Amino acid sequence: MSGQSSKDDILVFIMRHGEAEPLLTDDKSRCLTATGSNEIGASSHWLVDNYCPDSQLATALVSPYTRTRQSFQQVTNTLHASQFEICNDITPDGNVRLAHDYMDLIARESLKNSDGQPVLLVSHMPFVSFFLDEICEAPKMALFATGSVAVVRYWVNRGKGVLLQHFQGF
């Protein structure tokens, strides 16, 4: 399945950061471990093999925490985003409704400017689980392993999507 979309839908990839080092000082500064880098690499390759053969993303929204930024850096070894944005609204305790509204804007821009290429969001538990439920018509209450990714077919005009697959293959 290609990352290309029809006239009113796009793919949204919701990714949890890879495994991080234990909490020593503050949560925001935790770095990825080697295992975490490998998890993200596996998910990125899986996305290319199954949903994004041209390796192109319209936009990547990334939490400001160190481990999510490092996870996105690992993603860029495989996938390339036309736009990248650090998004303070997608932290572990971020507001999913606010993030959903913003993602709607990003999705509309993707349809208009980049032929409907996928949007990637790199964040944390529990935000990724709550966000998946927020944007899907049928809530799943999914738990995300580190480095895992959910693929959602998202209809911009309806503001809702459907979970296509959830890759947790480590």
Decide: 46 and 169 in contact? Cβ < 8 Å: yes
Amino acid at 120: L
Please tell me the predicted confidence (pLDDT) of residue 170.
66
Cβ neighbours of residue 127 under 8 Å, at least 6 residues apart? 63, 90, 91, 92, 93, 94, 96, 99
Domains of the chain: 9-18+29-167 (3.40.50.1240)
Entry pTM: 0.94
Tokens of 13: 């990839």
Per-residue pLDDT of the chain (170 residues; tens, 9 = 90+): 444 445 789 999 999 999 999 987 899 999 999 999 999 999 999 999 999 999 999 999 999 999 999 999 999 999 999 999 999 999 999 999 999 999 999 999 888 887 789 999 999 999 999 999 999 987 778 899 999 999 999 999 999 999 999 999 76
